[in-house]
């Protein structure tokens, strides 16, 4: 596995939509394998990758369904590739078992979900942010996930690179949680020169096969990976396994393994936390919004400020792990959090939990299919402002 | 069966530290693993470059016992995992070793598509006519009239004819054996290991604990006698004609052995033809 070929990186300024930018982000991150099954509104990402792959030394395969594409990428990852898959709504539901398998087997992998309205087939061509809790909890069993939420095409590019880097660093599946609006919005995207793109390399072991234990963690709780085909003769299983990678049905093994899988992310929550903050210095009311909703919320913030309301904005960029420490700090000094999201209340539960009663938490819900009318947010801000 | 008797030439191919294995006595799966070890020896392939992928089930445990790079994946998905592994690392010889339920029920869609694409993997299916691991439920291979825990009055669904399914989906190598025919199995596996393209071997194997017992077919040995007495070897037989029936005659042999470009080859050829020197493959 290698960093991107400089010739593969389309350095320069472009106008492109979020889906195309996400694809270029993957290529810039050195992705050399993708598998997917077409689904609106995500398909442009794999269409572009299918066109680009043979030009940049990568492989694309359109699989027979999302079950296949979500595990083909894991096979490819163990084969040495940097691999990702792309989907939306129904396809994301089908991929859940393999997100758990990737977490259990610590397989570096990136899953992109361009969110559309649901449940079921829902609104194929229209935005929503209603898979946020599924992203966190959708596969069975205990595990931790890393998920990122871009709010612009530029960020689709940037966060795709971060997603790959986190997946290598933590050996965990990483989710890029886009939405239809961001995926189909066209803006300027600046792609840096290849040598300015930081790539976290695969954590290949340098130990000899005789000294190597495939699931014995290094100091940061993440084990090193062996290269397939090099004589390590390692075993990988989704069963509860010991440091040899062999199945063990003892509760002690379960505790050691699942404890470590969960702990390796939780212990680094501070390193992973990334937010964008606007006008929080004097804020009494904090808007919390991510993805496309953060842009609408920013519009509402400006409107409310003009009316003299002391409003700020907190935008989680890494949504999982949730930036709960930051919310907790703010809850000490602000009156209220107003959460704007395209669902009937998902991340708001996290905000409320972290605020722990120290500040009020109000949801501005929306069923999806469109973004919030900014006025609906301003109205809530006025009302919350009047409580003080 | 004389499955993994202490010292024998197949031992270096197994993870001895993982013995004893989980299979019941008289189970046919271990017998086939013994054959596979012999096939690896016969093939002279560098073992570091052979990877094994299993799904979930009693047969799915095979990956964990072989001293190779091994992957025990999810139920039904060994083939798409193997597809990704092979495409990412073409120098590997990738073998999928799994059960009839895993490969043909929950994984049936992947099976036909991998054969259609001619992915260069070797698929070994242990057909015990039943879901072993979960306690003897009906499978898409259960013969009409045989009983299973979820077909207590006997199976009334027509089963798949696996060699016909494999051939019509595009497999380049198709064979069927029983666990009695150990030499044939080993040779056939060695053939498949050398063959380029989607190769499929079905091996009928006793599950004395569930299928045989439920259907009053005796123990593993009794089943071996049945296999011996009721099998006919007809190499090149038309796969349409090799249906299995409850305790009926069993047609064995190498049915298909043809050449067809693999997925990797058709992909590269297409890109080279269309993209010429822009192709970075
Ligand atoms: C998604 C999912 N569904 C169901 C199961 C339960 N399950 C485990 S093995 C198995 C059937 C195995 O049958 P087969 O592939 O024939 O293998 P055998 O045990 O007979 O060798 C089932 C249904 C599972 N592990 N995962
Ligand atoms: S249940 Fe059947 S298939 Fe499973 S190990 Fe026992 S005999 Fe073999
Ligand atoms: Mg079976």
ipTM value:
0.97
Mean pLDDT of B10-35: 95
The verdict on A54 and A192 lying in the same domain is: yes
Contact of B97 with B54, CB cutoff 8 Å? yes
CA angle (B238, B242, B243) in 5-degree steps: 140
Nearest to A66 by CA among A24, A41, A97, A103: A97
* Residue at A223 is within a domain: no
Mean pLDDT of B164-177: 98
Mean pLDDT of B87-97: 98
The verdict on A48 and A138 lying in the same domain is: yes
CB of B179 closer than 6 A to ligand 2? Answer: no
* Residue at A122 is within a domain: yes
Q: What is the mean pLDDT of chain B?
A: 96
Query: Residue A320 pLDDT > 70, yes or no?
Result: yes
Mean pLDDT of B229-249: 98
Q: How many domains does chain A have?
A: 2
* Residue at A136 is within a domain: yes
Query: Residue B154 pLDDT > 90, yes or no?
Result: yes
Residues in contact with ligand 1 (CB, 6 Å cut-off) = B 56-59, 75, 99-102, 126, 128, 130-134, 139
Q: Which atom of ligand 2 is nearest to the CA of B126?
A: 3
Query: Residue A54 pLDDT > 70, yes or no?
Result: yes
* Residue at A210 is within a domain: no
* Residue at A216 is within a domain: no
Task: Write out the two tokens for B265.
Answer: 């080859």
Residue listed under structure tokens 């965990």: A172
Query: Residue B5 pLDDT > 60, yes or no?
Result: no
For chain A, give the percent of residues with pLDDT over 90.
97
The verdict on A173 and A291 lying in the same domain is: no
Q: Give the domain CATH number at A379.
A: 3.40.50.920
CB of B163 closer than 6 A to ligand 2? Answer: no
Domain that holds residue A127: 6-196
Mean pLDDT of B255-260: 98
- Alpha-carbon dihedral B2, B5, B7, B10, rounded to 10 degrees: 60
* Residue at A73 is within a domain: yes
The verdict on A135 and A16 lying in the same domain is: yes
Query: Residue B3 pLDDT > 70, yes or no?
Result: no
Q: Tens digits of per-residue pLDDT, B183-224?
A: 999 999 999 999 999 999 999 999 999 999 999 999 999 999
The verdict on A34 and A169 lying in the same domain is: yes
Mean pLDDT of B250-270: 98
Helix A66-78 × helix A96-105 angle, to 10°: 20
* Residue at A228 is within a domain: no
CATH number for the region B14-278 comes to 3.40.50.970
Last residue of a domain, one of A168, A196, A224: A196
Q: How far apart are CA B245 and CA B146, in angstroms?
A: 9
Contact of B183 with B31, CB cutoff 8 Å? no
Query: Residue B64 pLDDT > 60, yes or no?
Result: yes
Contact of A376 with A362, CB cutoff 8 Å? no
Predicted local confidence at residue B100, as pLDDT: 98
Query: Residue B10 pLDDT > 70, yes or no?
Result: yes
Contact of A112 with A101, CB cutoff 8 Å? no
Disruptive mutation site among A62, A72, A75, A98 for chain B (greatest number of B CBs within 10 Å): A75
Mean pLDDT of A186-195: 97
Q: Look at A75 and B18 and tell me if their CB atoms are within 8 Å.
A: no
Predicted local confidence at residue A7, as pLDDT: 85
Which positions in chain B touch A27 (Cβ < 8 Å)?
A: none
B26 Cα: distance to centroid of ligand 2 (angstroms): 8
* Residue at A257 is within a domain: no
Q: Look at B71 and A232 and tell me if their CB atoms are within 8 Å.
A: no
CB pairs under 8 A between A and B: 142
The verdict on A166 and A282 lying in the same domain is: no
Predicted local confidence at residue A3, as pLDDT: 62
Q: How far apart are CA B109 and CA B158, in angstroms?
A: 18
| Residue nearest (by alpha carbon) to ligand 1 atom 3 | B75
Mean pLDDT of B92-99: 98
Mean pLDDT of B113-140: 98
- pLDDT tier for residue A230 given thresholds of 50, 70 and 90: very high
Last residue of a domain, one of A147, A168, A196: A196
Tell me which residue in B72, B76, B83 faces A236 most closely, judged by beta carbons: B72
Predicted local confidence at residue B1, as pLDDT: 46
Predicted local confidence at residue B6, as pLDDT: 52
* SS3 track for A336-382: EEEEECCCCCCHHHHHHHHHCCCCEEEEECCCCCCCCCHHHHHHHHH
Q: In sequence order, which ranges of B21-127 are alpha helices (DSSP H)?
A: 29-43, 62-65, 78-88, 100, 108-117
For chain A, give the percent of residues with pLDDT over 70.
99
Q: How far apart are CA B67 and CA B45, in angstroms?
A: 14
Q: What is the mean pLDDT of chain A?
A: 97
Q: Which atom of ligand 2 is nearest to the CA of B29?
A: 8
Q: How far apart are CA B136 and CA B23, in angstroms?
A: 14
Which positions in chain A touch B170 (Cβ < 8 Å)?
A: none
The verdict on A179 and A280 lying in the same domain is: no
Predicted local confidence at residue A215, as pLDDT: 98
Predicted local confidence at residue A219, as pLDDT: 85
- pLDDT tier for residue A331 given thresholds of 50, 70 and 90: very high
Query: Residue A77 pLDDT > 90, yes or no?
Result: yes
* C-alpha separations of A180 from A23, A40, A127, A176, A280 in Å: 15, 9, 4, 13, 29
Predicted local confidence at residue A2, as pLDDT: 57
- pLDDT tier for residue B8 given thresholds of 50, 70 and 90: confident
Which positions in chain B touch A233 (Cβ < 8 Å)?
A: 48, 67-70
A149–chain B Cβ distance below 8 A for any pair: no
The verdict on A44 and A137 lying in the same domain is: yes
Q: Look at B73 and A101 and tell me if their CB atoms are within 8 Å.
A: yes
B270 to chain A: nearest residue by CA? Answer: A54
Q: Give the domain CATH number at A182.
A: 3.40.50.970
Query: Residue A1 pLDDT > 70, yes or no?
Result: no
Predicted local confidence at residue B11, as pLDDT: 87
Last residue of a domain, one of A151, A167, A196: A196
**DSSP 8-state assignment for residue A207:** S
Query: Residue B66 pLDDT > 90, yes or no?
Result: yes
């Amino acid at each position: 596995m290698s960093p991107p070929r400089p010739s593969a990186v389309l350095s320069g300024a472009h106008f492109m939509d979020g889906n195309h930018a996400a694809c270029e982000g993957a290529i810039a991150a050195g992705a050399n394998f993708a598998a997917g099954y077409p689904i609106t509104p995500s398909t442009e990402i794999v269409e572009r990758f299918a066109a680009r792959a043979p030009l940049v030394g990568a492989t694309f395969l359109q699989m027979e369904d999302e079950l296949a594409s979500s595990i083909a990428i894991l096979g490819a990852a163990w084969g040495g590739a940097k691999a990702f898959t792309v989907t939306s709504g129904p396809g994301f539901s089908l991929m859940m078992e393999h997100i758990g398998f990737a977490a259990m087997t610590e397989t570096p992998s990136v899953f992109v979900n361009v969110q559309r309205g649901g449940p079921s087939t829902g609104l194929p061509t229209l935005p929503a942010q209603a898979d946020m809790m599924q992203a966190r909890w959708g596969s069975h069993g205990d595990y931790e996930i890393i998920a990122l939420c871009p709010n612009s095409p530029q960020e689709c590019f940037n966060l795709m690179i971060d997603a790959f880097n986190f997946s290598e660093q933590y050996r965990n599946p990483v989710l890029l949680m886009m939405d239809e609006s961001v995926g189909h919005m066209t803006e300027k995207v600046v792609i840096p020169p290849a040598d300015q793109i930081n790539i976290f390399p695969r954590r290949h072991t340098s130990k000899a096969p005789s000294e190597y234990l495939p699931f014995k963690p290094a100091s940061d709780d993440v084990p090193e990976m062996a290269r397939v085909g090099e004589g390590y003769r390692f075993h990988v299983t989704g069963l509860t396994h010991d440091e040899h990678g062999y199945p063990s049905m003892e509760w002690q093994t379960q505790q050691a393994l699942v404890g470590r899988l969960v702990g390796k992310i939780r212990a680094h929550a501070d390193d992973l936390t990334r937010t964008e903050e606007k006008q929080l210095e004097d804020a009494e009311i904090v808007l919390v919004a991510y993805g496309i909703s953060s842009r609408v919320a920013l519009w509402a913030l400006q409107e409310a400020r003009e009316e003299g309301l002391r409003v700020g904005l907190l935008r989680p960029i890494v949504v999982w792990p949730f930036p709960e420490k930051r919310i907790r700090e703010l809850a000490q000094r602000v009156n209220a959090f107003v959460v704007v999201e395209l669902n009937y209340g998902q991340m708001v539960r996290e905000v409320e939990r972290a605020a722990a009663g120290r500040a009020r938490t109000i949801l501005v819900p929306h069923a999806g299919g469109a973004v919030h009318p900014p006025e609906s947010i301003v109205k809530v801000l006025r009302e919350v402002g009047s409580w003080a | 069966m004389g499955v993994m008797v202490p010292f024998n030439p197949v031992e270096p191919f197994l993870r001895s530290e993982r013995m004893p294995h989980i299979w019941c006595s008289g189970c046919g799966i271990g017998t086939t693993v013994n054959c596979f070890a012999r096939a690896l020896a016969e093939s002279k392939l560098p073992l570091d470059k052979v990877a094994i992928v299993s799904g979930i089930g009693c047969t799915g445990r095979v990956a964990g016992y072989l001293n190779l790079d091994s992957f025990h994946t999810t139920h039904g998905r060994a083939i798409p995992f193997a597809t990704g592994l092979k495409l990412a690392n073409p120098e590997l010889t990738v073998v999928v070793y799994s059960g009839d339920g895993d490969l043909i029920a929950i994984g049936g869609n992947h099976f036909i598509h991998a054969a259609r694409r001619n992915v260069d993997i070797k698929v070994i299916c242990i057909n015990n006519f039943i879901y072993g691991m979960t306690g003897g439920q009906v499978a898409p291979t259960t013969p009409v009239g045989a009983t299973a825990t979820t077909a207590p009055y006997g199976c009334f669904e027509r089963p798949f004819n696996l060699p016909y399914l494999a051939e019509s989906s595009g497999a380049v190598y198709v064979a069927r054996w029983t666990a009695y025919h150990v030499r044939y199995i080993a040779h056939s596996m060695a053939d498949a290991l050398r063959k380029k393209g989607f190769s499929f071997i079905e091996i009928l194997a006793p599950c004395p604990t569930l299928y045989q017992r439920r259907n009053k077919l005796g123990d593993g040995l009794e089943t071996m006698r049945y296999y011996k007495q009721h099998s006919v070897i007809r190499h090149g037989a038309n796969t349409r004609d090799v249906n299995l029936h409850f305790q009926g005659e069993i047609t064995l042999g190498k049915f298909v052995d043809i050449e067809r470009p693999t997925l990797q080859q058709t992909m590269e050829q297409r890109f080279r033809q269309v993209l010429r020197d822009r192709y970075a493959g």
